[in-house]
Amino acid sequence: MVRTLMAVPPASPTPASPAAPRRAPGDPYCANCGYSLKGLTSTPNCPECGRPLVEVLVRERAPFRGIRFRTEATLFGLPLIHIAMGPGPEAGQMRGHARGIIAIGDTAVGGIAIGGVSAGVVSIGGCTAGVVGIGGLSVGLGAALGGLAIGGFATGGGAIGVIASGGGAAGFIAEGGGAAGYYARGGSAWGAHTIDYRGTSDPQAKELFDALEPVLGSLGGQSAAWRPMLVPVGAALVLSVL
């Protein structure tokens, strides 16, 4: 008996899955297998795993990239303007650190510094220190303005200074809702020479505050406590660019 050997045709090769496109941040992709779906318009299913796109299509939010800018022109070795806000992966920074004559950043140091935390001749931000400080918490060698202000001339919700004016004020000369100082004027006043709502009106205090009325305003009128800041602010602005 002759046996006929039948040749078994080779199995058809399984079609290779298309190479997964490289996925960039912000591209749509399959939540089931991770395949990039960018530019896919001809099929309702994921080419890799076959799941319906309506079930698996997701998109990652592109990571926030910060702002980085620096002028080529410099003064005293510092750029005239340096801006650094937000993450800077190329510099390994989660927050921007700016240093310049004019510095703007999450953290800023310069002649004029503006940032969440800032230090400079003129410093503006959430937490500030400088010759002139303006911010939520401000410390100024010359003048300070803020929620809490500490400086030679200080004005704010809470103020501590040689001349202090605020909701609560403490200084050599103090005025406010509550004021404590050698000379004090306010709703409630404590000090060696005071003027307050209880009718206390020390002659020396009256003479001093009458002389300072162009600067501090009158007890019953509108306060002008920001005026003492004009001289240190002007001087600081000049110093910051010299």
pLDDT of residue 12: 45
pLDDT of residue 116: 92
From the CB of residue 13, how many other CB atoms can be counted at a distance below 10 Å?
6
Cα–Cα distance for residue pair 219/167, rounded to 1 Å: 14
- Spatial CB neighbours of 239, under 8 Å, sequence gap ≥ 6: 111, 121, 131
Per-residue pLDDT of the chain (242 residues; tens, 9 = 90+): 445 445 445 544 444 445 555 666 667 888 888 888 877 777 788 888 888 887 887 776 655 667 889 999 988 889 999 999 887 766 666 788 899 999 999 999 999 999 999 999 899 999 999 988 989 999 988 888 889 999 988 888 899 999 998 889 999 999 888 999 999 998 889 999 999 877 788 999 999 988 888 777 766 554 555 555 555 556 555 555 55
Place of tokens 């200084």: 171
Cα–Cα distance for residue pair 195/179, rounded to 1 Å: 10
pLDDT of residue 66: 78
pLDDT of residue 110: 92
- Spatial CB neighbours of 71, under 8 Å, sequence gap ≥ 6: 79, 80, 81, 82, 100
pLDDT of residue 29: 84
pLDDT of residue 1: 46
What is the chain's Cα-based Rg? 34
Nearest to 125 by CA among 4, 110, 178: 110
Cα–Cα distance for residue pair 218/125, rounded to 1 Å: 30
Cα-to-chain-centroid distance, residue 178: 31
